[in-house]
């Protein structure tokens, strides 16, 4: 009997071993139910909060990443999301590019001129604009213009300059480059729009440049090309009395005197004749050097040195067993002399196989340009040259001469 009473007491006792009434038991059960409901509600609320935050993180961070994973991007959902993002980006870039090109066309066209021959006949009929002989670029507000030498085949008084606003100016003077590259034209003007020459050394392979041409009837044509090389010269070996650097791009169908601009409106180069029917891009930096001389002297001078050479590098040095990998190796290809007879180099005693390592105290390295440096030398100036002959360093002095006529 005692055993049953103990069990009964144990079943209805609280933790203190005291017996509870039926009312107290009901209250305790209701309290537990309330706590369970509250806990359940808290779990639901916390789940919603965590789920919302997780959705934001997934949509804004993980979704873009996962859409780039190849085997996940095959899914339809990810494809739709990525397509929408790409379309938005492309539209933004296109708009920016169109605005830049529009601004470029406006500014570049204002500084470009068309070169035409004067009409020699008169007629009662309506006159049609003359065909363009070529194009040019305004460099000074008072009428100094640069163009390709190939444009001018007659006397200066046979040509007229048509500005972008339709104004016509007779050519007063033509200043030719002795190397047959550029021609500077002088007209009488007082307020022409001037182009800004860029720094060719800042150009990059793969960069786009633009040509903006307006014919005498006012139609504007825009072309673009990609620069394939920025230190290009088609001749081998290099000639100390020729331009060393050109810009390379597909300008085969460009008119002589066409000017190439960067997207920010600065001049990159001028289209000039190359070998045979080829066309080259004369760099803006070299145009600027010639311009300063034309403004100061009303002429372009080109010094004579008289050597053909190749620039050394590690590969050429190893192949030929040379002791140095920098310098200008005087070289004589078949049918050409390494040193021109009667030239300053010949008189100074330079010969094929010599390696020029220093000119006027400046070390000759991979970035050194002999023709560009020589543009700053004057007729009669004495230039000290250090060179290697059979491994021994020698010194010579050249007295600079000047090219008299265009080649």
> What's the rounded mean pLDDT across residues 209-216?
82
- Strand-pairing partners, residue 282, are 270
In this structure, is the dihedral angle defined by the CA atoms of residues 176, 177, 179 and 182, taken in order, positive or negative? negative
In this structure, is the dihedral angle defined by the CA atoms of residues 12, 16, 19 and 20, taken in order, positive or negative? negative
**Contact yes or no for 227/249 (Cβ under 8 A):** yes
Structure confidence at residue 159 (pLDDT): 92
Torsion-angle region of 41 (φ positive above 0: left; ψ -120 to 50: alpha; else: beta): alpha
> What's the rounded mean pLDDT across residues 273-289?
86
> What's the rounded mean pLDDT across residues 23-52?
60
Structure confidence at residue 9 (pLDDT): 34
Structure confidence at residue 29 (pLDDT): 55
In angstroms, the CA 126 to CA 290 distance is 41
- 95-110 pLDDT tens trace: 457 788 888 888 888 9
Domains defined along the chain, listed by start: 2-64 (no CATH), 197-297 (2.40.10.10), 303-402 (2.30.42.10)
pLDDT for residue 325 is more than 60: yes
- 140-173 pLDDT tens trace: 999 999 999 989 888 888 899 999 888 999 999 9
Least confident stretch, 130-144, 192-206, 207-221, 268-282: 207-221
3-state helix, strand, coil in the chain (%, to 5): 35, 30, 40
DSSP letter assigned to residue 15: T
In the chain, the percentage of residues whose pLDDT exceeds 70 is 72
Q: What is the mean pLDDT of the chain?
A: 80
In angstroms, the CA 124 to CA 331 distance is 63
In angstroms, the CA 111 to CA 123 distance is 32
- Identify which has the larger pLDDT, 212 or 218: 212
In angstroms, the CA 73 to CA 79 distance is 6
> What's the rounded mean pLDDT across residues 218-231?
88
3-state secondary structure of 237: coil
3-state secondary structure of 166: coil
Structure confidence at residue 214 (pLDDT): 77
Structure confidence at residue 63 (pLDDT): 47
> What's the rounded mean pLDDT across residues 370-395?
93
End-to-end, the C-alpha distance of the chain in Å comes to 137
Q: Which pTM was predicted? A: 0.70
- Identify which has the larger pLDDT, 26 or 359: 359
Whole-Å CA distances, 32 to 25, 38, 151, 354: 11, 10, 102, 104
């Amino acid at each position: 009997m005692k055993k049953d009473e103990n069990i009964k007491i144990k079943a209805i006792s609280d933790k203190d071993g005291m017996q509870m009434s039926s009312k107290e038991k009901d209250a305790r059960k209701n309290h537990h139910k309330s706590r369970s409901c509250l806990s359940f509600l808290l779990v639901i609320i916390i789940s919603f909060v965590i789920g919302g935050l997780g959705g934001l993180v997934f949509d804004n961070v993980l979704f873009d990443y996962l859409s780039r994973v190849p085997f996940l991007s095959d899914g339809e959902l990810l494809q739709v999301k990525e397509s929408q993002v790409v379309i938005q980006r492309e539209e933004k870039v296109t708009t920016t590019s169109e605005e830049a090109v529009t601004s470029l066309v406006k500014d570049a066209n204002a500084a470009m001129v068309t070169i035409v021959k004067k009409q020699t006949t008169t007629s009662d009929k309506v006159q049609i604009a003359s065909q363009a002989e070529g194009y040019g670029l305004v460099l000074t507000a008072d009428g100094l213009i640069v163009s390709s030498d190939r444009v001018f085949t007659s006397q200066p008084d046979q040509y007229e300059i048509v500005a972008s606003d339709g104004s016509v100016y007779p050519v007063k003077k033509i200043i030719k480059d002795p190397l047959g590259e550029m021609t500077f034209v002088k007209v009488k003007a007082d307020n022409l729009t001037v182009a800004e020459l860029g720094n060719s050394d800042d150009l990059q392979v793969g960069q786009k440049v633009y040509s903006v041409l307006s014919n005498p009837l006012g139609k504007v044509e825009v072309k673009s090309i990609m620069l394939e090389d920025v230190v290009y010269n088609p001749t081998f070996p290099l000639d100390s009395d020729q331009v060393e650097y050109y810009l390379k791009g597909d300008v085969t169908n460009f008119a002589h005197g066409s000017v190439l601009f960067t997207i920010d409106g600065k001049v990159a180069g001028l289209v000039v004749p190359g070998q045979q029917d080829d066309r080259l891009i004369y760099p803006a930096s070299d145009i600027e050097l010639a311009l300063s001389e034309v403004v100061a002297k009303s002429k372009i001078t080109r010094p004579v040195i008289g050597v053909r050479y190749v620039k050394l590098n590690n590969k050429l040095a190893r192949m030929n067993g040379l002791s140095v990998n920098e310098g200008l190796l005087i070289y004589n290809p078949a049918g050409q002399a390494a040193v021109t007879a009667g030239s300053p180099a010949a008189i100074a005693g330079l010969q094929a196989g010599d390696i020029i390592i220093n000119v006027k105290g400046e070390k000759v390295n991979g970035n050194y340009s002999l023709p560009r440096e020589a543009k700053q030398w004057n007729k009669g100036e004495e230039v000290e040259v250090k060179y290697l002959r059979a491994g021994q360093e020698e010194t010579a002095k050249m007295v600079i001469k000047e090219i008299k006529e265009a080649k």
